[in-house]
Amino acid sequence: MPLDVLRTTQTPRLSGRNDEHARVLREAPGPLPPIVVHRATMRVIDGAHRVHAARLRGAREILARMFDGDERDAFVLAVRANVTHGLPLTLADRTGAAARIVRSHPHWSDRAIAAETGLSEHTVAGVRRRSTARASQLNTPRTPRTPDAPDATGADPADDLPQPTARLGRDGRLRPTDGARRRTLAGRLFAERPDATLREIAGLAGISPATARDVRLRVSRGEDPVTPRQRSAARPAATDTDGSAPAVSVAIIEQLTKDPSIRLSDAGRSLLSWLGAHLVQPDDCAEVIARVPPHRSDQVALLARACAQNWHHIAHRLEECAATAK
């Protein structure tokens, strides 16, 4: 594949290309592994650093595999590839990718998107809540366009896609997004129509016969027809409302990546990369704690406190700078 026909834009990496990684690839012995290219646009899906390394080597061609599909699926493939191999995506990269996939593939379940982005299911659920809230606030009309074309406002094309009434799980099954409401309706129908069959209630409530059977059992035991998991999902998470929430930190990262003074400068891209690598989410805490051997807990605790003090110092100095700027 000739290098001069390839495009390396729209990468999942918020900070752009890592030149040091490309130089490491240039010095690696042997031919570079094949890249993956979107046939319709000639955009590199996987292997942007390999393309730059090939150019540094003075090569004019590189081995490539072609992908046939739309740009939304191409982006998902790019995220999947960069999560599983190569230079790892930062937390900010993966969270930003999840936000885009939530909008472009709204029928996918949180678990399915989590598997593609390397995030937890709970983190993706939070991304979806913020995306839904943002979509509900967008009441400025925009000129219609094709799904893959950007508009003059810079808004994500996927913002215009209709939101589904069901989501596709990793097992290939469709599940309604308003399952709690449908279960409540089925419970009420069972009380009003005690002689109705499972299939009749299932058809009226828009649920499967198996779900209708579970609702009937719960109602007969005097329980809530809605499962505990559905009840907790229906309640707004506390982490989305208090000031120390992960929603705030992710939203700030998203704002920084849209700032041209940061996104278009080497120093700014370096800052985004550093922040993405050092941003810690609540879901990460439990995972880190579980990995620390008990006999090293004290040492890692000291390290965590030292990092917290450094972050506190950074916050104090930045607040001073902000006050001076005013």
Nearest to 215 by CA among 227, 204, 206: 227
pTM: 0.51
pLDDT in tens, the chain (326 residues): 999 999 988 788 888 888 898 999 999 998 999 999 999 999 999 999 999 999 999 999 999 999 998 899 999 999 999 887 778 888 888 999 999 999 888 888 888 899 899 888 888 888 888 877 665 554 444 444 444 444 433 444 444 445 555 555 555 565 566 678 888 888 888 888 888 899 888 888 878 888 899 999 988 888 888 888 777 665 554 444 444 445 566 667 777 877 888 878 888 888 877 777 777 766 677 778 888 888 888 898 899 888 888 888 898 888 888 888 76
Q: 57 and 86 share a domain?
A: yes
Q: 124 and 75 share a domain?
A: yes
CA distances from 287 to 30, 61, 281, 283, 298 (A): 37, 43, 10, 7, 17
Establish if 72 belongs to a structural domain. Answer: yes
Q: 218 and 109 share a domain?
A: no
Q: 97 and 216 share a domain?
A: no
Q: 18 and 68 share a domain?
A: yes
User: Alpha-carbon distance 282 to 284, whole Å?
Assistant: 5
Establish if 167 belongs to a structural domain. Answer: no
Establish if 96 belongs to a structural domain. Answer: yes
Q: 206 and 70 share a domain?
A: no
Identity of residue 139 = N
Q: 155 and 283 share a domain?
A: no
Q: 28 and 83 share a domain?
A: yes
Q: 249 and 198 share a domain?
A: no
Quote the number of domains for the chain: 3
Establish if 171 belongs to a structural domain. Answer: no
Establish if 201 belongs to a structural domain. Answer: yes
Nearest to 31 by CA among 7, 65, 66, 61: 61
Q: Which domain holds residue 71?
A: 3-160
Q: 208 and 103 share a domain?
A: no
Q: 133 and 270 share a domain?
A: no
